[in-house]
Structure 1
Amino acid sequence: MSPRTLDARPARYPTPAQAECAARRLALRHPDRCRLREVGRSRAGRPLLLLSVDRGPRAVLVVGGPHPNEPIGTAAAVRLAEVLLERPARPGLSWHLLLCLDPDGAALNAGWLDGPLTMRRHYEHFFRPSFEEQPELLPAPGSGRPPMPESVALTGLIDELRPFLQCSLHGVDFGGAFVQLTGPVGGLAERFARSADRAGLPLDVDSYDAVGWTSPAPGTYLMPAPGSPGTSRALPDEPELSTWSYAARRGAVTAVLEVPMWAVDAVGDARTHPAGPLAVGEAARDLTTRSEELTALLARVPAQAREAYGPLARTAEFNLAVAPRVAAEWLELWCPGPLSAARATTAGLVAARLPLRVASILLRLLADSRGPAAEAARERARAVVADSLDRLRNRFGARWVPVQEQLAHQTRAILSTADCLLLPI
């Protein structure tokens, strides 16, 4: 593939509606190789659309938009289809691109995509559902909670297609690029690292999403086997309760591909931090204090706003319940020993990011409230937003990664993972 193949890239993220229009154009333009079909409906009745390219028996399943605050996945699904259709079909191979797994969540996050892609505007329109409302996470056996229709659609696709590879397209707001795998993929770590370097991205060498996991190379992580401890005791993120492991049990390797919107170079520093426990202890105290303050502000949200904007209220409540447990875990498990600069940086990023997310959501929930108490709550939430943004820009040096570079890296990573699995042994 020539370098120019991936250079014809949009400078913005498409909305799910724009992605659908682009997919329909591709299906009309290439009817011999490309087809679009509905594979399910969201909780609110929005269509879940699958764009398939070529018809070989060996299938790759690509999942765009699993998290609504990470629009790069939907963009990369469309761009990948364009790249594939610019090249001859590969014998025996087919590609199946789910444009957006969570269109309901995307609708609550879409305001950012229509204007300047600034950090402040991103959080003015921020939404990310609580864990139990994320379609890639399946209910635990015996929980009594049925799977969401989006989850049913995705597991149904896995059963239908039996892919040898599933790529889940994610993005982080602050940090570096990394990949999480349900099984080894020989040669991928080197190609992934070269792609990240070409895009000007640091590799996240001590990712908060993969603490304690095996890391065969910087920025590459292997998910623990079923029954092993998860990433964090504070978060219900056991990989075996995911559609990633669901695919693995049916013979697929799942690659969870992460690319940052704002890069923080220090997440690539594996050296020991000279005062790591002190830095993490400070982050834990900041996170605890801020979560207590925001919990008090959440009490100011009127019942009608909680009812009208239920998903926003639930994600604020979830994050405020998790924050003190995360801080306590840092103090108990991280602080006693030496820590990498990357780990200390990650703690600081989470301590700034989580209150920023909650305060931004509170401003949306309080927008229609009247009276001095409501205005005082909004003013305090605005102060948390301003302070968090200042920390991220100035203390951590967060720098915007152009959409073109995010997109090129994500697309290269998908193609590289498939290539590595298809190489003859």
Structure 2
Amino acid sequence: MTDTGPRVRRIDAPRQDRQDTETYPTVARAVTAARRLVHRHPDRCRLREVGRSRAGRPLFLLSVDDGERTVLAVGGPHPNEPVGLAAAVGLAERVLELPPRPGVGWHVLLCLDPDGAALNEGWLHGPLTPARHYEHFFRPAFHEQPELLPAPDGPLAPMPESRVLTGLIDELRPVLQCSLHGVDFGGAFVQLTRPLPGLAAGFARSVARGGIPLDVDSYDAVGWDSPAPGTYVMPAPGTRWRALPDRPELSTWSYAGRYGGVTAVLEVPMWAIDAVGDARPHPDVRAAVGAAARTLHERIAELTGLLPQVPPHAGVAYGPLLRAIEFNLEVSPLLVEEWLADWSPAPLSVSRVTTARIVAQRLPLRIASMLLRLLADSGGPAADAARARARGIIAASLEGLHRLGIRWVPIGTQVGHQTRAALAAADLLLARR
């Protein structure tokens, strides 16, 4: 990485990756780890509750050092991505190993969505396998993800967690906000609210150091500007680029821009698939994308037929799961239409086609897994048949992903890369005067 000042560290500088034990922290463990850091470094650290979730769970901010120039890291924005909690703690630990930087304060929101995290925590107490991960899977519908803000003229109000985060941005006015995300299958990439020259090369070296593929044609950034492989810049407001209803301009990522801050959304996989790093033209896009579209269409149709078997009491007790299922069932046919109309006839990279194949397996896997949780207490032949079919879709989807060549990325490697990337982005911005 090109130096921009005497205090800029190389993102790929040799250092032992953190988190030697192969476990992700629960929210409670992350808070306990933060309290220990405060106890060990009372002159540099403080921990405070900054708000409550929809269900009344506390949200904690760990601050290291003081200063008018601030960096804000957001852990646990998506509850099915536990690396965000691990990296939040790991980043604070790493900052405390470094000398205080005059005029700079670091702030780590340990978990943005503790309610969602509670619905995923069962996996953290058992073997970290794909099958067990999806036994405890939950990911909220778009409108219930705290980083995504409702339209100002729409009927929805911001969630309490969203208000906590926007309030912190108003208070801290960070020069950099790092959102600590993960993907279940694929590669690493970074999404920026505006270009950050100097980051891409070091980011790629850090990924290579961890043996992680760089996602060079990310599904999450279709149509976005990509100044370098694996680096993407969010589009201008109002730009439409795919069927999913996400609008980055209505997000806490863009919210930081009102104070001149840059947001870096850092993604790292739990299970790597090396083909997402292949930028070469795919030899038969029509056949590959068509097959992925058929797989998604057929499984979504089956899952839609199983939804009536969810008992009313399950929908009341586990409303977020039911709403997530309904959201995914609604958007999946739009993806199929998009792939067949726009992707199938086009020249695409191996990376892009691979991401479509991942989504075709992953979306039914997510829906079936959440549906199976809602059907757990249902009785009778129809419910038994629905559970059997959901299990069949889960097994077939996992098999399809295994055929893509998934391999586990050690937690220490995931956290090490995210920590290096966050520090490097901060150095580039803090070096500016």
TM-score when normalising by structure 1: 0.97
What corresponds to 2:429 in structure 1? 421
Show the counterpart of 2:119.
108
1:300 paired with 2:309, answer yes
Picking from 190, 206, 213, the partner of 2:201 is 190
Residue in 2 aligned with 1:398?
Answer: 406
Q: Is the 8 A contact 2:19 2:411 kept in 1?
A: no
Residues 382-401 of structure 1 deviation map (CA, whole Å, 9 limit, x = unaligned) = 000111111111x2001110
Q: 2:18 & 2:214 partners in 1: Cα distance?
A: 22
Aligned to 1:371: 380
Q: How many Å apart are 1:202 and its aligned residue?
A: 0.5
Does residue 244 of the first structure (1) align with residue 286 of the second (2)?
Answer: no
Give the aligned residue type for 1:132: H
Matched, 1:407 2:415: yes
- The question of 1:312 aligning with 2:321 is answered yes
Corresponding residue for 1:14? Answer: 25
Cα separation, 1, equivalents of 2:415 and 2:174? 23
Q: Spell out the pairing of 1:278-297 with structure 2 (5 A cutoff).
A: 278-297=287-306
Q: 1:179, CA displacement in angstroms?
A: 0.1
- Aligned-pair distance for 1:9? 3.5
Counterpart in 1 of 2:273? Answer: 264
Q: How many angstroms apart in 2 are the aligned matches of 1:387 and 1:48?
A: 38
For 2:430, the aligned partner's letter is L
- Higher relative contact order (CA closer than 8 Å, sequence separation 6+): 2
Q: 1:36 to 1:147 in 2, by over 3 A?
A: same
Corresponding position of 1:325: 334
- What is residue 356 of structure 1 aligned with on the other side? 365
Whether the 8 Å CA contact 1:61–1:165 is kept in 2: the answer is yes
Q: Is the 8 A contact 1:9 1:79 kept in 2?
A: no
Amino acid at match of 1:390: E
Q: Provide the secondary structure at the position in 1 that maps to 2:295.
A: helix
Following TM superposition, by how much is the alpha carbon of 1:7 offset from its aligned partner in structure 2, in angstroms?
A: 4.3
| Structure 1 residue 5: Cα displacement | 5.0
Amino acid paired to 1:64: G
Correspondence for 2:177: 166
Report matched runs for 1:109-188 at 5 Å: 109-188=120-199
Q: CA deviation at 1:10?
A: 3.4
Unaligned runs of 5+ in 2: 1-8
**Matched residue type, 1:328:** E
- Is residue 170–residue 258 contact of structure 1 (8 Å, CA) maintained in 2? yes
What amino acid is aligned across from residue 76 of structure 1 in structure 2? Answer: A
Other-structure match for 1:37:
48
- Structure 1, gaps ≥5 residues long: none
What is the distance in 2 between the residues matched to 1:6 and 1:123? 27
Distance 2:197 2:374 in 1: 47
**What amino acid does structure 2 have at the position aligned with 1:235?**
L
CA separation in 2, counterparts of 1:324 and 1:40?
Answer: 38
Computed over aligned residues only, the root mean square deviation of the Cα atoms, in angstroms, reads 1.1
Q: Secondary structure at 1:101's aligned position in 2?
A: coil
Aligned 8 A contact 2:285 2:345 in 1: no
Q: In structure 1, give the amino acid aligned to 2:222.
A: V
Distance between the aligned counterparts of 2:78 and 2:238, measured in 1?
Answer: 25
Paired positions, count: 422
Contact 1:6 1:83 in 2 (8 A): no
TM-score (norm 2): 0.96
**2:224 paired with 1:213:** yes
